[in-house]
Amino acid sequence: MEPRLREFVSKKVSDFTSSIYFKIGLERIMKYFNSAIKGFRPIYTETGTSKTLALIDANAFIIVDNPNPVNITIPLESDVNFKIGTEIDFIQKGVGVLSFVPTATVLLNGASIVIPILTQWGGATIKKIGSDEWIIVGKI
């Protein structure tokens, strides 16, 4: 490439990369890729027979591994303020029945009181859809 042409192209590239349009476009691209990266969920293993959900569990994948029955308690919003849209995935690795137990006035749509996963390797996702209101989907 001729030196004058190289200088012209270099200046145009420099002008473009310093323009507001480039910066806005770059921000959108970074936001897209960062959200895709943030989409991976942390994986935790629960080996006890009871667990009350905490903020650290938000958007996590929890492997429940116990030969005895395990109760997962969904707390009141006033105790643990999960954001609406929070999802928590569960898989029952152990042979103990995994049950979801909503606290007091917490509504868990999908069953009246307690929702069990009866088979090993069964799974479910709970999602907060309102104040003290959750929905459960999966092998229940």
Structural domain count of the chain: 2
51 with 90, same domain: the answer is yes
57 with 114, same domain: the answer is yes
86 with 30, same domain: the answer is no
Q: What is the DSSP string of the chain?
A: --HHHHHHHHHHHHHHHTSHHHHHHHHHHHHHHHHHHHTPPPEEEE-SSEEE--GGGTT-EEEE--SS-EEEEE--TTTS-PPTT-EEEEEE-SSSPEEEEE-TT-EEETSSS-EEE-STT-EEEEEEEETTEEEEEE--
| Reported pTM | 0.70
Q: Which CATH number does the domain housing residue 84 bear?
A: 2.60.120.640
- Give the domain extent around 84: 43-138
What is the full per-residue pLDDT of the chain (140 aa) written as tens digits? 566 656 655 665 556 555 555 555 556 655 555 444 455 778 999 999 999 999 999 999 999 999 999 999 999 999 999 999 999 999 999 899 999 999 989 999 886 556 788 888 999 999 999 999 999 988 76
